């Protein structure tokens, strides 16, 4: 399971977990699906939960990279919407498989806890990037923390809505609607 592209090394095991259920899958089944030995698996992951955590870590890194790549003068709402849009667009591109993984994470208590834990790191990373874009100072730091947290609440709301609707609505459209609601607050914080 050596690293390749973000999320690539975890894709088959994630699909197995999503298809059969987190509690029903053993590490033996995961290593068989991934085509690696147990020793290799445990070199990269401490537990089967960590397969999902790695996926989430990669997702958070991607969101931050997207934010960093946005034009410097862009309003925070636009930059953040584009940043969180990327993983949501990937969900839409692989709707059936992605929906199973999102359901797995949102409906498995241990995984949901790890997802929320990862999002704390995402919030810190996004806030750091926003503060870098906006300048320094206590006010910029506070605004960046609030903007990052608000964007992640929108991200979670879109994921839940998409999941609850059985993937019927396009995540990009949901994201646009969510950010239309929060954009005034995000952009006011930059003033």
Burial level of 105, CB count in 10 A (0-12/13-18/19+)? buried
134, part of any domain: yes
pTM score of the predicted model: 0.82
Judge whether 98 lies within some domain. Answer: yes
Q: What is the pLDDT of residue 66?
A: 94
In a domain, 5, yes or no: no
How many whole angstroms separate alpha carbon 113 and alpha carbon 163? 17
Domain count, the chain: 1
Question: What is the pLDDT, as a whole number, of residue 1?
Answer: 43
What pLDDT shows up at residue 6?
A: 37
Q: Would you say residue 33 lies in a domain?
A: no
Q: What is the CATH number of the domain that holds 80?
A: 1.10.357.10
Question: What integer pLDDT is reported at residue 176 of this predicted model?
Answer: 94
Q: Whole domain around residue 108: which residue ranges?
A: 48-189
User: Is there a domain that residue 182 lies in?
Assistant: yes
pLDDT of 14: 84
Whether the Cβ atoms of residue 15 and residue 97 lie closer than 8 Å to each other: yes
Q: Is residue 9 part of a domain?
A: no
On whether residue 6 sits in a domain, the answer given is no
Q: How far apart are CA 38 and CA 21, in angstroms?
A: 20
Within-domain flag for 157: yes
Q: Give me the tens of pLDDT residue by residue for the chain, a chain 191 residues long.
A: 433 333 444 578 888 888 898 889 999 999 998 889 999 999 988 888 888 888 888 888 999 999 999 998 899 999 999 999 988 887 776 777 888 888 889 999 989 998 999 899 999 999 999 988 877 665 668 889 999 999 999 999 999 999 999 888 888 899 999 999 999 999 885 54
> Residue 77 has what pLDDT?
95
Residue 112: predicted pLDDT? 92
């Amino acid at each position: 399971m050596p690293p390749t592209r973000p999320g690539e090394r975890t894709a088959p095991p994630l699909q197995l977990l999503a298809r059969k259920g987190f509690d029903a899958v053993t590490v033996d089944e995961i290593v068989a699906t991934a085509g690696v030995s147990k020793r290799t698996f445990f070199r990269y992951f401490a537990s089967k939960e960590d397969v999902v955590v790695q996926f989430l870590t990669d997702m958070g890194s991607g969101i931050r990279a997207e934010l960093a790549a946005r034009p410097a003068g862009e309003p925070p709402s636009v930059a953040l919407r584009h940043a969180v849009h990327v993983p949501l667009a990937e969900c839409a591109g692989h709707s059936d498989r992605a929906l199973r993984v999102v359901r797995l994470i949102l409906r498995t208590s241990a995984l949901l806890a790890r997802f929320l834990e990862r999002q704390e790191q995402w919030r810190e990373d996004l806030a750091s990037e926003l503060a870098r874009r906006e300048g320094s100072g206590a006010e910029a730091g506070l605004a960046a923390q609030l903007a990052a947290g608000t964007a992640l609440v929108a991200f979670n709301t879109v994921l839940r809505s998409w999941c609850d609707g059985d993937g019927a609505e396009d995540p990009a459209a949901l994201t646009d609607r969510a950010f239309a609601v929060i954009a005034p607050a995000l952009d006011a914080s930059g003033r």
